Amino acid sequence: MTHSVVTPIKKSRPMWFGALALAASLALSGCVTNTEGSGPAGASASGAPIEVSKSDAAAKLVPEDIASSGVLRVGTDATYAPNQYAGPDGTPIGWEVELVEAVAAKLGLKVEWQKSGFDQIIPRVDGGTLDMGSSSFSDTVERQQSVDFVDFYSAGLQFVRGADEAELPDSLCGLKIGAQATTTSDDYLTAESKKCEEAGKPAIQILKKGGQDEATNDVVMGNVPYMLADSPIAQNSVQQAEGKVELTGDIFDAAPYGLAMKKDGELTKAVQVAMQELIDDGTYQQILEKWGVEAGAVEKAEINGVK
């Protein structure tokens, strides 16, 4: 199997995601946890957020019920360091979290974070109990049937291997590979496994976990030799696990991250305008550089950019 290499949209210095501090019990228990002090220097949970002013142009597009409440209810699965993860007090932090809060500030709103299982967020947005889903969602045509996306970042997929494991072979057939369930990684492995079976080869043994931390723990502890995750997550897991896992293979299947909102709702346009203003005024780039993820920066905030 040959994976295509993703070319960064903007030329920038190499990505550095910062080492997440592991709990002292990692060597004994194998637990990888998101802890205080995560992210690159100057971008920890205690780092001051970048100030953002309200935009009249964006705020006037916010639906009346949300504008009158002053609150943007955002669902997230806070296990995706450095994108979104639990801070010292349990409150979501990370570069995507900071970006969403900047969007909300442009809209004149305050974010009410609601932690939720990854596979429950889009149904809750569709059902109206959340205004937005922000959880490293890849914009896909299938997901667009339920929600609309404002795309804001370009990410790919990347494999991780245990430090003592061989490099990823050309064929994935018959391999045991971990992933978080219901994610793009899971979808990719499921499709590849089907191709293996159709060719008369052994299926991929996909070890699915409910949270990304659990999937990372499996490869750290040697329960599974390989793991597939979004490229920022894969790169961060290498830093977090301190020599216990390594990247293997190139980044491939580039796709945009999108913020999910109710299908055909008024909020989508408001968020697009706010996000584009953040891109144009440099705040967006500041946030990405603060967290070391600027290699995936985009120049336009598109609605449902995947066709």
List per-block mean pLDDT (blocks of 10 residues) for the chain, which spans 307 residues. Answer: 32 28 28 35 50 96 98 95 93 97 98 96 98 96 98 95 96 98 95 98 97 92 96 83 90 94 98 98 94 88 97
The phi and psi torsions of 223 (rounded to 5 degrees) equal -70, -25
Question: How far is it, in rounded angstroms, from Cα 160 to Cα 241?
Answer: 11
Spatial contact of 76 and 114, defined as CB atoms under 8 Å apart = yes
- Counting the structural domains of the chain, the total is 2
> Do 208 and 184 belong to one domain?
yes
> Do 42 and 140 belong to one domain?
yes
> Do 139 and 260 belong to one domain?
yes
Predicted local distance difference test score (pLDDT) of residue 80? 87
Please list, in sequence order, all residues whose beta carbon lies within 8 angstroms of the beta carbon of residue 202, skipping any fewer than 6 positions away. Answer: 173, 174, 196
Buried b (16+ CB within 10 A) or exposed e, 66-79: bbeeeebbbbbbbb
Indicate yes or no: pTM above 0.85: no
Predicted local distance difference test score (pLDDT) of residue 47? 58
> Do 66 and 151 belong to one domain?
yes
Predicted local distance difference test score (pLDDT) of residue 35? 35
Question: How far is it, in rounded angstroms, from Cα 113 to Cα 104?
Answer: 12
Instruction: Scan for tokens 């293996």, then name that residue.
Output: 196
Spatial contact of 134 and 80, defined as CB atoms under 8 Å apart = no
For residue 44, give its domain range: 26-155+254-303
* DSSP string for 238-280: HHHTTTSEEEEEEEEEEEEEEEEEETT-THHHHHHHHHHHHHH
> Do 96 and 145 belong to one domain?
yes
Q: Indicate whether 202 belongs to any domain.
A: yes
Stated length of the chain: 307
The kind and range of the H/E element at 59 are: helix 56-59
71 forms beta bridges with 110
Check which CATH number belongs to the domain holding 195 and give it: 3.40.190.10
Q: Indicate whether 90 belongs to any domain.
A: yes
> What is the 8-class DSSP label of residue 147?
E
- Residue of 284, 267, 266 whose CA lies nearest to 275: 284
The phi and psi torsions of 115 (rounded to 5 degrees) equal -75, 135
Question: How far is it, in rounded angstroms, from Cα 22 to Cα 32?
Answer: 6
> Do 87 and 178 belong to one domain?
no
